[in-house]
Amino acid sequence: MKKLVSIGKASVLFIAVALLPVLAVAQSDAQRIAELEAKTAAMAEALTALQGELKQAKQDGTLANTAELKSEIVKATQYAQRAEKAANEWKNSTAVTHIAGYAAVGYTDEENAMDSFDVANFNPIYHFQYGDRILWESELEVNVGDDGQTEVGLEYSTIDIFLNDYAVLVAGKFISPLGQFRQNIHPSWINKSVSAPPGFGHDGAAPLTDVGLQIRGGVPLGEQVKITYSGFVANGPRLEGEGGELHGIDTDGFASDADDEKVFGGRLSILPLPKLEIGISGAFGDAAIVENDGLGLVGDPSRDYQVFGVDYAYQWGNFDFRGEYIEQDVGNAAGSVASKGGKWATWYTQTAYKFGDAKWEGVVRYADYDSPHGDETQKQWALGINYLLTPNAIIKLGYEFNDGLAGEKTDNDRLLIQVAYGY
Amino acid sequence: MKKYSWKFPLIVTLAVPLVFGGLFAYQDATAEDTAGSTPADPMQFVRGAKTWANTCARCHNMRDPRELRDDQWQGVVAHMRVRANLTGKEARDVLLFLQQSN
Protein backbone atom coordinates (compact mmCIF):
# COMPACT_ATOMS: atom_id res chain seq x y z
CA MET A 1 0.00 0.00 0.00
CA LYS A 2 2.84 2.34 0.96
CA LYS A 3 4.48 1.57 -2.32
CA LEU A 4 1.34 2.53 -4.21
CA VAL A 5 1.21 5.88 -2.47
CA SER A 6 4.77 6.62 -3.32
CA ILE A 7 4.14 5.72 -6.95
CA GLY A 8 1.23 8.18 -6.92
CA LYS A 9 3.42 10.91 -5.44
CA ALA A 10 6.10 10.27 -7.94
CA SER A 11 3.59 10.52 -10.77
CA VAL A 12 2.24 13.78 -9.54
CA LEU A 13 5.74 15.11 -9.23
CA PHE A 14 6.57 13.87 -12.68
CA ILE A 15 3.47 15.44 -14.22
CA ALA A 16 4.16 18.64 -12.38
CA VAL A 17 7.71 18.71 -13.66
CA ALA A 18 6.52 17.87 -17.16
CA LEU A 19 3.92 20.61 -17.02
CA LEU A 20 6.37 23.25 -15.87
CA PRO A 21 7.53 24.31 -19.34
CA VAL A 22 3.91 24.35 -20.50
CA LEU A 23 3.07 26.68 -17.69
CA ALA A 24 6.08 28.79 -18.51
CA VAL A 25 4.94 28.98 -22.12
CA ALA A 26 1.47 29.92 -21.06
CA GLN A 27 3.02 32.60 -18.91
CA SER A 28 5.16 34.16 -21.81
CA ASP A 29 2.19 34.04 -24.25
CA ALA A 30 0.15 36.08 -21.89
CA GLN A 31 2.96 38.59 -21.62
CA ARG A 32 3.28 38.87 -25.37
CA ILE A 33 -0.40 39.28 -25.83
CA ALA A 34 -0.32 42.01 -23.30
CA GLU A 35 2.57 43.67 -25.16
CA LEU A 36 0.78 43.30 -28.50
CA GLU A 37 -2.34 44.71 -27.04
CA ALA A 38 -0.38 47.66 -25.78
CA LYS A 39 1.22 48.16 -29.22
CA THR A 40 -2.11 47.84 -30.98
CA ALA A 41 -3.55 50.37 -28.66
CA ALA A 42 -0.63 52.71 -29.34
CA MET A 43 -1.06 52.21 -33.09
CA ALA A 44 -4.76 52.80 -32.86
CA GLU A 45 -3.99 55.97 -30.98
CA ALA A 46 -1.45 57.03 -33.59
CA LEU A 47 -3.92 56.20 -36.35
CA THR A 48 -6.58 58.28 -34.72
CA ALA A 49 -4.10 61.14 -34.40
CA LEU A 50 -3.11 60.71 -38.04
CA GLN A 51 -6.72 60.65 -39.13
CA GLY A 52 -7.21 63.79 -37.12
CA GLU A 53 -4.23 65.41 -38.81
CA LEU A 54 -5.46 64.27 -42.20
CA LYS A 55 -8.84 65.70 -41.54
CA GLN A 56 -7.23 68.89 -40.38
CA ALA A 57 -4.96 68.97 -43.42
CA LYS A 58 -7.94 68.54 -45.72
CA GLN A 59 -9.72 71.32 -43.92
CA ASP A 60 -6.61 73.57 -44.15
CA GLY A 61 -6.21 72.81 -47.85
CA THR A 62 -2.54 71.91 -47.40
CA LEU A 63 -2.92 68.88 -49.60
CA ALA A 64 -4.80 70.77 -52.26
CA ASN A 65 -1.94 73.37 -52.15
CA THR A 66 0.63 70.71 -52.91
CA ALA A 67 -1.16 69.81 -56.13
CA GLU A 68 -1.59 73.45 -56.97
CA LEU A 69 2.07 74.03 -56.27
CA LYS A 70 2.95 71.33 -58.75
CA SER A 71 0.91 72.93 -61.49
CA GLU A 72 2.31 76.35 -60.53
CA ILE A 73 5.82 74.99 -61.00
CA VAL A 74 4.90 73.65 -64.42
CA LYS A 75 3.37 76.99 -65.39
CA ALA A 76 6.34 78.94 -64.07
CA THR A 77 8.74 76.75 -66.01
CA GLN A 78 6.76 77.27 -69.19
CA TYR A 79 6.63 81.00 -68.50
CA ALA A 80 10.38 81.14 -67.89
CA GLN A 81 10.95 79.31 -71.16
CA ARG A 82 8.74 81.77 -73.01
CA ALA A 83 10.39 84.72 -71.26
CA GLU A 84 13.84 83.46 -72.14
CA LYS A 85 12.78 83.09 -75.75
CA ALA A 86 11.27 86.58 -75.73
CA ALA A 87 14.36 88.03 -74.05
CA ASN A 88 16.49 86.76 -76.88
CA GLU A 89 14.03 87.69 -79.59
CA TRP A 90 15.35 91.20 -80.07
CA LYS A 91 18.81 89.82 -80.58
CA ASN A 92 17.60 87.64 -83.41
CA SER A 93 14.87 89.71 -85.02
CA THR A 94 15.16 90.40 -88.73
CA ALA A 95 13.56 93.85 -88.65
CA VAL A 96 15.16 96.41 -86.36
CA THR A 97 14.07 99.96 -85.58
CA HIS A 98 16.68 102.27 -84.14
CA ILE A 99 16.77 105.97 -83.32
CA ALA A 100 19.99 107.96 -83.36
CA GLY A 101 20.84 111.58 -84.03
CA TYR A 102 22.36 114.61 -82.40
CA ALA A 103 21.56 117.90 -80.76
CA ALA A 104 23.48 121.10 -80.08
CA VAL A 105 23.18 124.43 -78.35
CA GLY A 106 25.53 127.30 -78.95
CA TYR A 107 26.44 130.86 -78.15
CA THR A 108 28.25 133.34 -80.40
CA ASP A 109 29.97 136.52 -79.40
CA GLU A 110 30.68 138.36 -82.66
CA GLU A 111 32.54 141.60 -83.25
CA ASN A 112 30.22 144.44 -84.34
CA ALA A 113 27.14 142.28 -83.80
CA MET A 114 24.70 141.13 -81.15
CA ASP A 115 25.87 138.25 -78.97
CA SER A 116 23.29 135.52 -78.90
CA PHE A 117 22.45 132.00 -78.04
CA ASP A 118 22.22 131.21 -81.70
CA VAL A 119 22.18 127.46 -82.06
CA ALA A 120 19.50 125.15 -80.78
CA ASN A 121 18.94 122.19 -83.02
CA PHE A 122 17.79 118.64 -82.74
CA ASN A 123 18.44 116.13 -85.51
CA PRO A 124 16.74 112.79 -84.98
CA ILE A 125 17.84 109.93 -87.24
CA TYR A 126 15.57 106.95 -87.80
CA HIS A 127 16.86 103.58 -88.93
CA PHE A 128 14.58 100.84 -90.17
CA GLN A 129 16.56 97.78 -91.04
CA TYR A 130 15.53 94.52 -92.59
CA GLY A 131 18.21 91.88 -92.03
CA ASP A 132 21.32 92.52 -94.02
CA ARG A 133 19.30 93.50 -97.05
CA ILE A 134 17.74 96.89 -96.42
CA LEU A 135 18.32 99.98 -94.31
CA TRP A 136 16.03 102.97 -94.44
CA GLU A 137 17.79 105.98 -92.94
CA SER A 138 16.12 109.35 -92.44
CA GLU A 139 17.35 112.42 -90.64
CA LEU A 140 15.23 115.41 -89.71
CA GLU A 141 16.68 118.75 -88.86
CA VAL A 142 14.66 120.67 -86.34
CA ASN A 143 15.91 124.06 -85.21
CA VAL A 144 14.87 127.44 -83.95
CA GLY A 145 15.23 130.26 -86.44
CA ASP A 146 16.27 133.85 -85.71
CA ASP A 147 12.60 134.80 -85.56
CA GLY A 148 11.72 132.09 -83.04
CA GLN A 149 9.94 129.92 -85.56
CA THR A 150 10.74 126.22 -85.47
CA GLU A 151 12.12 125.07 -88.78
CA VAL A 152 11.92 121.44 -89.84
CA GLY A 153 13.92 120.06 -92.74
CA LEU A 154 14.50 116.63 -94.21
CA GLU A 155 18.27 116.37 -94.03
CA TYR A 156 18.25 113.06 -95.85
CA SER A 157 16.01 110.07 -96.40
CA THR A 158 17.21 107.05 -98.35
CA ILE A 159 16.52 103.42 -98.82
CA ASP A 160 19.83 101.56 -98.84
CA ILE A 161 19.75 98.16 -100.49
CA PHE A 162 22.77 95.96 -99.80
CA LEU A 163 23.38 94.39 -103.21
CA ASN A 164 26.38 92.35 -102.13
CA ASP A 165 29.43 92.68 -99.89
CA TYR A 166 30.86 95.46 -102.05
CA ALA A 167 27.91 97.52 -103.26
CA VAL A 168 25.00 99.36 -101.67
CA LEU A 169 22.32 101.04 -103.74
CA VAL A 170 21.19 104.27 -102.09
CA ALA A 171 18.00 105.88 -103.40
CA GLY A 172 16.31 109.07 -102.23
CA LYS A 173 17.59 112.31 -100.80
CA PHE A 174 21.18 111.76 -99.77
CA ILE A 175 24.06 113.78 -98.35
CA SER A 176 26.37 114.60 -101.23
CA PRO A 177 29.11 111.97 -101.37
CA LEU A 178 31.49 114.57 -102.84
CA GLY A 179 34.32 115.47 -100.47
CA GLN A 180 34.49 114.51 -96.80
CA PHE A 181 33.19 117.34 -94.62
CA ARG A 182 29.55 117.10 -95.55
CA GLN A 183 29.13 113.35 -95.46
CA ASN A 184 31.52 112.46 -92.65
CA ILE A 185 32.20 115.42 -90.40
CA HIS A 186 29.37 117.95 -90.32
CA PRO A 187 27.31 116.62 -87.34
CA SER A 188 28.17 118.87 -84.38
CA TRP A 189 29.27 116.00 -82.11
CA ILE A 190 31.75 114.90 -84.81
CA ASN A 191 33.10 118.25 -86.01
CA LYS A 192 35.98 119.12 -83.71
CA SER A 193 35.71 122.80 -84.61
CA VAL A 194 32.72 124.81 -83.45
CA SER A 195 31.73 125.93 -86.94
CA ALA A 196 31.76 124.50 -90.44
CA PRO A 197 34.72 125.74 -92.49
CA PRO A 198 33.82 128.73 -94.71
CA GLY A 199 32.31 127.56 -98.00
CA PHE A 200 30.70 124.45 -96.52
CA GLY A 201 27.35 126.02 -95.71
CA HIS A 202 24.34 126.90 -97.84
CA ASP A 203 25.10 128.45 -101.24
CA GLY A 204 28.78 127.71 -100.69
CA ALA A 205 31.50 125.81 -102.52
CA ALA A 206 30.63 122.29 -101.37
CA PRO A 207 27.41 120.58 -102.46
CA LEU A 208 25.16 119.61 -99.54
CA THR A 209 22.55 117.09 -100.66
CA ASP A 210 20.91 115.75 -103.79
CA VAL A 211 17.98 113.62 -104.85
CA GLY A 212 18.65 110.58 -107.01
CA LEU A 213 20.40 107.23 -107.06
CA GLN A 214 23.78 106.36 -105.65
CA ILE A 215 25.85 103.22 -105.59
CA ARG A 216 28.68 102.95 -103.09
CA GLY A 217 30.88 100.51 -101.27
CA GLY A 218 34.39 99.39 -100.41
CA VAL A 219 36.74 96.85 -101.94
CA PRO A 220 39.86 95.47 -100.23
CA LEU A 221 43.04 95.39 -102.30
CA GLY A 222 45.08 92.72 -100.60
CA GLU A 223 45.49 92.50 -96.84
CA GLN A 224 45.76 96.14 -95.89
CA VAL A 225 44.91 98.51 -98.72
CA LYS A 226 41.31 99.39 -99.38
CA ILE A 227 39.43 101.36 -102.01
CA THR A 228 36.07 103.02 -101.49
CA TYR A 229 33.80 104.43 -104.15
CA SER A 230 30.51 106.19 -104.68
CA GLY A 231 28.84 107.13 -107.93
CA PHE A 232 25.53 108.93 -108.35
CA VAL A 233 23.04 110.34 -110.79
CA ALA A 234 20.78 113.04 -109.37
CA ASN A 235 18.64 116.08 -110.11
CA GLY A 236 21.47 118.45 -109.24
CA PRO A 237 21.43 122.01 -107.93
CA ARG A 238 19.41 125.11 -108.76
CA LEU A 239 20.92 128.49 -109.42
CA GLU A 240 19.89 131.83 -108.03
CA GLY A 241 20.32 135.16 -109.78
CA GLU A 242 20.41 138.60 -108.23
CA GLY A 243 20.86 142.00 -109.86
CA GLY A 244 21.96 140.46 -113.16
CA GLU A 245 24.58 138.28 -111.45
CA LEU A 246 24.76 134.67 -110.48
CA HIS A 247 24.09 134.81 -106.76
CA GLY A 248 24.66 131.26 -105.62
CA ILE A 249 24.29 127.53 -106.14
CA ASP A 250 21.49 126.03 -104.09
CA THR A 251 22.32 122.39 -103.33
CA ASP A 252 19.60 121.67 -100.79
CA GLY A 253 18.39 118.66 -102.78
CA PHE A 254 15.34 119.01 -105.01
CA ALA A 255 12.70 116.52 -105.95
CA SER A 256 12.52 118.01 -109.44
CA ASP A 257 15.08 118.86 -112.07
CA ALA A 258 14.72 122.39 -113.40
CA ASP A 259 17.15 121.92 -116.28
CA ASP A 260 16.14 118.41 -117.32
CA GLU A 261 19.77 117.30 -117.42
CA LYS A 262 20.92 115.03 -114.64
CA VAL A 263 24.10 115.53 -112.68
CA PHE A 264 26.53 112.60 -112.60
CA GLY A 265 29.29 112.36 -110.03
CA GLY A 266 31.24 110.33 -107.57
CA ARG A 267 34.14 109.96 -105.23
CA LEU A 268 36.96 107.47 -105.22
CA SER A 269 39.20 107.03 -102.21
CA ILE A 270 42.15 104.90 -101.30
CA LEU A 271 43.27 103.82 -97.84
CA PRO A 272 46.90 102.83 -98.25
CA LEU A 273 47.01 102.51 -94.44
CA PRO A 274 43.92 101.75 -92.35
CA LYS A 275 43.99 105.23 -90.79
CA LEU A 276 44.88 107.23 -93.91
CA GLU A 277 42.27 108.05 -96.53
CA ILE A 278 42.81 110.08 -99.68
CA GLY A 279 39.81 110.91 -101.81
CA ILE A 280 39.07 112.52 -105.14
CA SER A 281 35.61 113.72 -106.16
CA GLY A 282 34.00 115.01 -109.30
CA ALA A 283 30.60 115.71 -110.80
CA PHE A 284 29.19 117.25 -113.95
CA GLY A 285 25.83 118.10 -115.42
CA ASP A 286 23.59 121.07 -116.05
CA ALA A 287 22.00 123.67 -113.85
CA ALA A 288 19.66 126.58 -114.45
CA ILE A 289 18.57 129.73 -112.68
CA VAL A 290 15.13 129.18 -111.17
CA GLU A 291 15.04 132.16 -108.85
CA ASN A 292 15.94 135.72 -109.78
CA ASP A 293 15.83 138.68 -107.38
CA GLY A 294 13.80 136.52 -105.00
CA LEU A 295 11.18 135.64 -107.62
CA GLY A 296 10.64 132.34 -109.41
CA LEU A 297 12.00 132.19 -112.95
CA VAL A 298 11.11 129.70 -115.68
CA GLY A 299 12.88 129.17 -118.99
CA ASP A 300 16.31 130.58 -118.20
CA PRO A 301 18.81 128.63 -120.32
CA SER A 302 20.63 125.79 -118.58
CA ARG A 303 24.41 125.82 -118.31
CA ASP A 304 27.33 123.61 -117.39
CA TYR A 305 27.80 122.65 -113.77
CA GLN A 306 30.88 120.93 -112.39
CA VAL A 307 32.38 119.88 -109.08
CA PHE A 308 35.92 118.89 -108.32
CA GLY A 309 37.42 117.99 -104.96
CA VAL A 310 40.27 116.26 -103.15
CA ASP A 311 40.39 115.35 -99.47
CA TYR A 312 42.47 113.47 -96.95
CA ALA A 313 42.20 112.31 -93.36
CA TYR A 314 44.90 110.75 -91.21
CA GLN A 315 45.03 109.61 -87.60
CA TRP A 316 48.39 109.23 -85.95
CA GLY A 317 48.53 108.60 -82.21
CA ASN A 318 46.52 111.32 -80.52
CA PHE A 319 46.60 113.46 -83.66
CA ASP A 320 43.80 113.81 -86.17
CA PHE A 321 44.71 115.56 -89.41
CA ARG A 322 42.34 116.31 -92.22
CA GLY A 323 41.96 118.67 -95.12
CA GLU A 324 39.97 119.18 -98.25
CA TYR A 325 39.67 121.28 -101.37
CA ILE A 326 36.37 121.56 -103.22
CA GLU A 327 35.00 123.77 -105.96
CA GLN A 328 31.74 124.18 -107.84
CA ASP A 329 31.82 125.81 -111.26
CA VAL A 330 28.95 127.19 -113.27
CA GLY A 331 29.42 128.02 -116.95
CA ASN A 332 28.33 131.09 -118.87
CA ALA A 333 24.91 131.11 -120.52
CA ALA A 334 24.07 133.51 -123.31
CA GLY A 335 20.58 134.90 -122.97
CA SER A 336 20.35 134.27 -119.23
CA VAL A 337 19.30 136.89 -116.67
CA ALA A 338 22.83 136.40 -115.35
CA SER A 339 24.92 135.28 -118.30
CA LYS A 340 28.28 135.18 -116.56
CA GLY A 341 29.18 131.98 -114.75
CA GLY A 342 31.38 131.65 -111.70
CA LYS A 343 33.46 129.49 -109.44
CA TRP A 344 33.01 128.88 -105.73
CA ALA A 345 36.09 127.22 -104.23
CA THR A 346 37.25 126.55 -100.70
CA TRP A 347 39.82 124.57 -98.80
CA TYR A 348 40.74 123.92 -95.19
CA THR A 349 43.26 121.98 -93.22
CA GLN A 350 42.70 120.99 -89.61
CA THR A 351 44.81 119.40 -86.89
CA ALA A 352 43.38 118.17 -83.61
CA TYR A 353 45.23 116.70 -80.65
CA LYS A 354 43.78 114.81 -77.70
CA PHE A 355 45.39 115.06 -74.28
CA GLY A 356 44.64 114.70 -70.57
CA ASP A 357 43.44 111.11 -70.74
CA ALA A 358 41.65 111.88 -74.04
CA LYS A 359 39.30 114.22 -72.15
CA TRP A 360 40.67 117.36 -73.76
CA GLU A 361 41.25 118.24 -77.35
CA GLY A 362 42.95 121.19 -79.01
CA VAL A 363 42.02 122.11 -82.60
CA VAL A 364 43.53 124.44 -85.19
CA ARG A 365 41.97 125.00 -88.60
CA TYR A 366 42.86 127.25 -91.48
CA ALA A 367 40.42 127.87 -94.31
CA ASP A 368 40.30 129.99 -97.44
CA TYR A 369 37.02 130.46 -99.28
CA ASP A 370 36.78 132.15 -102.68
CA SER A 371 33.47 133.18 -104.14
CA PRO A 372 32.60 135.35 -107.15
CA HIS A 373 31.17 137.73 -104.54
CA GLY A 374 33.68 139.72 -102.55
CA ASP A 375 31.43 139.83 -99.48
CA GLU A 376 31.52 136.02 -99.22
CA THR A 377 35.24 135.58 -99.70
CA GLN A 378 36.96 134.78 -96.42
CA LYS A 379 40.20 133.57 -94.91
CA GLN A 380 40.00 132.16 -91.42
CA TRP A 381 42.10 130.85 -88.58
CA ALA A 382 40.00 128.93 -86.09
CA LEU A 383 41.37 127.84 -82.71
CA GLY A 384 39.45 125.64 -80.35
CA ILE A 385 39.58 123.73 -77.13
CA ASN A 386 37.14 120.92 -76.45
CA TYR A 387 36.19 119.04 -73.32
CA LEU A 388 34.85 115.55 -73.95
CA LEU A 389 32.24 114.69 -71.33
CA THR A 390 31.91 111.37 -73.13
CA PRO A 391 33.15 110.38 -76.60
CA ASN A 392 29.87 111.67 -78.03
CA ALA A 393 29.18 114.67 -75.78
CA ILE A 394 31.48 117.62 -76.32
CA ILE A 395 31.77 121.13 -74.94
CA LYS A 396 33.56 123.28 -77.51
CA LEU A 397 35.08 126.70 -77.11
CA GLY A 398 36.42 128.32 -80.25
CA TYR A 399 37.81 131.58 -81.53
CA GLU A 400 37.81 132.58 -85.20
CA PHE A 401 40.12 135.18 -86.67
CA ASN A 402 38.21 136.17 -89.78
CA ASP A 403 39.59 138.09 -92.69
CA GLY A 404 36.95 139.14 -95.21
CA LEU A 405 35.92 142.26 -97.07
CA ALA A 406 36.21 145.21 -94.67
CA GLY A 407 32.88 146.04 -93.08
CA GLU A 408 31.31 142.69 -93.99
CA LYS A 409 30.24 139.98 -91.54
CA THR A 410 32.95 137.76 -93.00
CA ASP A 411 35.51 140.15 -91.50
CA ASN A 412 34.24 139.91 -87.90
CA ASP A 413 36.15 137.77 -85.43
CA ARG A 414 33.96 135.47 -83.36
CA LEU A 415 34.01 133.63 -80.05
CA LEU A 416 31.86 130.53 -80.14
CA ILE A 417 30.69 128.11 -77.49
CA GLN A 418 28.83 124.94 -78.29
CA VAL A 419 27.61 121.86 -76.47
CA ALA A 420 26.92 118.96 -78.80
CA TYR A 421 25.62 115.50 -78.11
CA GLY A 422 25.37 112.57 -80.53
CA TYR A 423 23.12 109.73 -79.45
CA MET B 1 30.14 124.05 -126.91
CA LYS B 2 31.30 122.74 -123.55
CA LYS B 3 33.67 125.06 -121.80
CA TYR B 4 34.42 122.62 -118.99
CA SER B 5 36.10 119.30 -119.34
CA TRP B 6 33.58 116.57 -118.73
CA LYS B 7 35.87 113.60 -119.19
CA PHE B 8 37.08 113.21 -115.63
CA PRO B 9 33.68 113.18 -113.97
CA LEU B 10 32.31 110.93 -116.68
CA ILE B 11 35.03 108.39 -116.06
CA VAL B 12 34.55 108.54 -112.32
CA THR B 13 30.81 108.25 -112.60
CA LEU B 14 30.62 105.43 -115.05
CA ALA B 15 33.70 103.47 -114.12
CA VAL B 16 32.85 103.38 -110.49
CA PRO B 17 29.50 101.57 -110.53
CA LEU B 18 30.48 99.48 -113.52
CA VAL B 19 33.77 98.26 -112.16
CA PHE B 20 32.78 97.71 -108.57
CA GLY B 21 29.06 97.18 -108.68
CA GLY B 22 29.19 95.00 -111.77
CA LEU B 23 32.30 93.07 -110.93
CA PHE B 24 30.98 91.90 -107.62
CA ALA B 25 27.30 91.71 -108.42
CA TYR B 26 27.47 87.96 -108.75
CA GLN B 27 28.92 87.42 -105.34
CA ASP B 28 25.91 86.95 -103.21
CA ALA B 29 26.87 88.29 -99.83
CA THR B 30 23.97 86.85 -97.95
CA ALA B 31 24.68 83.25 -98.91
CA GLU B 32 27.82 83.53 -96.84
CA ASP B 33 26.45 85.05 -93.70
CA THR B 34 23.02 83.59 -93.09
CA ALA B 35 23.14 83.19 -89.34
CA GLY B 36 23.66 79.65 -88.15
CA SER B 37 24.27 78.13 -91.54
CA THR B 38 28.03 78.38 -91.28
CA PRO B 39 30.05 77.10 -88.36
CA ALA B 40 31.28 79.91 -86.10
CA ASP B 41 34.53 81.34 -87.38
CA PRO B 42 36.85 81.68 -84.38
CA MET B 43 38.84 84.43 -86.09
CA GLN B 44 35.78 86.60 -86.74
CA PHE B 45 35.92 88.28 -83.31
CA VAL B 46 39.63 89.03 -83.74
CA ARG B 47 39.09 90.47 -87.22
CA GLY B 48 36.16 92.50 -85.89
CA ALA B 49 38.27 93.94 -83.07
CA LYS B 50 40.97 94.92 -85.55
CA THR B 51 38.57 96.53 -88.00
CA TRP B 52 36.90 98.36 -85.10
CA ALA B 53 40.23 99.70 -83.82
CA ASN B 54 41.36 100.75 -87.29
CA THR B 55 38.10 102.11 -88.67
CA CYS B 56 35.67 103.30 -86.06
CA ALA B 57 37.62 106.35 -84.88
CA ARG B 58 38.45 107.58 -88.38
CA CYS B 59 35.66 110.13 -88.59
CA HIS B 60 34.50 110.55 -85.00
CA ASN B 61 35.57 109.62 -81.48
CA MET B 62 35.53 105.92 -80.75
CA ARG B 63 32.19 104.76 -79.40
CA ASP B 64 32.30 102.29 -76.55
CA PRO B 65 30.85 98.83 -77.34
CA ARG B 66 29.07 98.97 -73.96
CA GLU B 67 27.15 102.07 -75.01
CA LEU B 68 24.54 100.14 -76.95
CA ARG B 69 22.55 96.90 -76.90
CA ASP B 70 23.02 94.16 -79.48
CA ASP B 71 20.01 95.23 -81.57
CA GLN B 72 21.09 98.87 -81.50
CA TRP B 73 24.53 97.94 -82.79
CA GLN B 74 22.77 96.12 -85.62
CA GLY B 75 21.23 99.41 -86.81
CA VAL B 76 24.38 101.44 -86.23
CA VAL B 77 26.68 99.03 -88.03
CA ALA B 78 24.33 98.94 -91.05
CA HIS B 79 24.36 102.75 -91.00
CA MET B 80 28.16 102.85 -90.79
CA ARG B 81 28.49 100.16 -93.46
CA VAL B 82 26.93 102.66 -95.88
CA ARG B 83 28.54 105.82 -94.50
CA ALA B 84 32.06 104.44 -94.13
CA ASN B 85 31.92 102.17 -97.21
CA LEU B 86 32.62 99.04 -95.19
CA THR B 87 32.53 95.73 -97.01
CA GLY B 88 29.83 93.29 -95.91
CA LYS B 89 32.46 91.16 -94.26
CA GLU B 90 33.96 94.07 -92.30
CA ALA B 91 30.46 95.01 -91.13
CA ARG B 92 29.66 91.46 -89.96
CA ASP B 93 33.01 91.16 -88.16
CA VAL B 94 32.63 94.50 -86.38
CA LEU B 95 29.03 93.74 -85.43
CA LEU B 96 30.07 90.45 -83.86
CA PHE B 97 32.88 92.16 -81.99
CA LEU B 98 30.58 94.91 -80.68
CA GLN B 99 27.83 92.49 -79.69
CA GLN B 100 30.28 90.33 -77.77
CA SER B 101 31.97 93.24 -76.04
CA ASN B 102 28.99 95.12 -74.60
Q: Which residues contact B26 (CB under 8 A, 6 or more apart)?
A: A164
Q: Does B88 touch chain A (CB under 8 A)?
A: yes
pLDDT in tens, chain A (423 residues): 455 555 566 555 556 555 655 555 556 778 888 888 888 899 889 899 988 888 887 777 666 678 888 999 999 999 999 988 887 776 667 899 999 999 999 999 998 887 888 778 899 999 999 988 999 999 999 988 888 889 999 999 999 999 999 999 999 999 999 999 999 999 999 999 999 999 999 999 999 999 999 999 999 998 889 999 999 999 999 999 999 999 999 998 988 887 878 999 999 999 999 999 999 999 999 999 999 998 999 999 999 999 999 999 999 999 999 999 999 999 999 999 999 999 999 999 999 999 999 899 999 999 999 999 999 999 999 999 999 999 999 999 999 999 999 989 899 999 999 999 999
- Name the pairing type of β-strands A414-422 and A378-390: unpaired
Distance from CA of B82 to the nearest CA of A (A): 7
| In chain A, domain spans | 2-91, 100-422
Distance from CA of A237 to the nearest CA of B (A): 16
CB contact under 8 A, A306 and B6: yes
Q: Is the pTM of this model over 0.90?
A: no
CB contact under 8 A, B54 and A275: yes
Contact list in A for residue B87 (CB cut-off 8 A) is 165-166, 217-220
Dist. CA A123–CA A154, nearest whole Å: 10
Residue (of A365, A281, A375) closest to A325 by Cα position: A281
CB-closest option in A132, A284, A391 to B63: A391
**Dihedrals φ, ψ of A182, to 5°?**
-65, -50
Topology of domain A100-422, CATH: Porin (2.40.160)
CB contact under 8 A, A217 and B57: no
| In chain B, domain spans | 29-101
**Packing angle, helices B70-83 and B88-100, rounded to 10:** 150
Q: Which residues contact A104 (CB under 8 A, 6 or more apart)?
A: A119, A120, A121, A188, A189, A418, A419, A420, A421
Q: Per-residue pLDDT tens for B15-36? A: 666 655 655 554 444 444 444 4
CB contact under 8 A, B88 and A164: yes
Q: Which residues contact A399 (CB under 8 A, 6 or more apart)?
A: A382, A383, A384, A413, A414, A415, A416
DSSP assignments along A281-314, one per residue: EEEEEEE-EEEETTEE---PPPEEEEEEEEEEEE
CB contact under 8 A, B27 and A184: no
Contact list in A for residue B71 (CB cut-off 8 A) is 90-91, 93, 96, 98
In contact, A340 and A245? CB cutoff 8 Å: yes
Q: Does B43 touch chain A (CB under 8 A)?
A: no
CB-closest option in A98, A168, A391 to B72: A98
In contact, A230 and A236? CB cutoff 8 Å: no
Contact list in B for residue A308 (CB cut-off 8 A) is 8
DSSP assignments along B78-100, one per residue: HHHHHHTT--HHHHHHHHHHHHH
In contact, A237 and A209? CB cutoff 8 Å: no
Starting at the edge strand that comes first in sequence, how are the strands of the sheet with A245-250 ordered? A245-250, A238-242, A289-292, A295-296
